[in-house]
Amino acid sequence: RAVRRVWAKIMKERFGSDNPRAQMMRYHVQTDGFTLTEQQPLNNVVRVAIQVLSGVLGGCQSLHACSYDEALALPSEEAVQLSLRTQQIVAYESGVADTVDPLGGSYYVEKLTNEIEKGIYDYIAKIDEIGGAQEAINKGYIQREIRRSAYDYQRAVDSGEQVVVGVNMFASK
């Protein structure tokens, strides 16, 4: 929700749009295949379910859930079916899609939202300093950010700072 609020503000203040439709942000969520692990692949079922729920709670308009065995190979038919059923259970059985903002008013969520919003503005300012998005790409900034993020995550996993159940904690022998 923070991203949509920032988007509307940017479209209105930065680009001068008075059109409410231009200020709307629709977005798609793809669950994070990078977090899926080869070790204990059935744990990925839970990871994907939580990611699906997070996407819905965040207000996404469309969603794709990875299959639990994608860390091993192309997804099996069974895993694809389970991925689809995960989305359907969250959509039709959980009740979270029955209200516009099921977490609205939560102090903790609002605090996190404000932190995300500040981070978005800081990041946009950094890209503006570089000369805009195209210049940031041309100068390799975006690619370096992706590499840095992946490196930082892997370092945190390797050190145990970032717990990955079945990999660096509660691993089977």
pTM: 0.81
What digits encode the pLDDT tens for the residues 52-99?
Answer: 999 998 888 899 999 999 999 999 999 999 999 999 999 999 999 888
* Tokens 């439709």 found at: 21
Q: How long, in residues, is the chain?
A: 173
- Give me the sign of the Cα torsion angle 113, 118, 122, 128: positive
Mean pLDDT of 17-41: 90
Provide the pLDDT for residue 74: 95
CA distances from 64 to 33, 49, 51, 55, 79 (A): 11, 11, 10, 10, 13
Strands of the chain, DSSP E: 28-30, 62-64
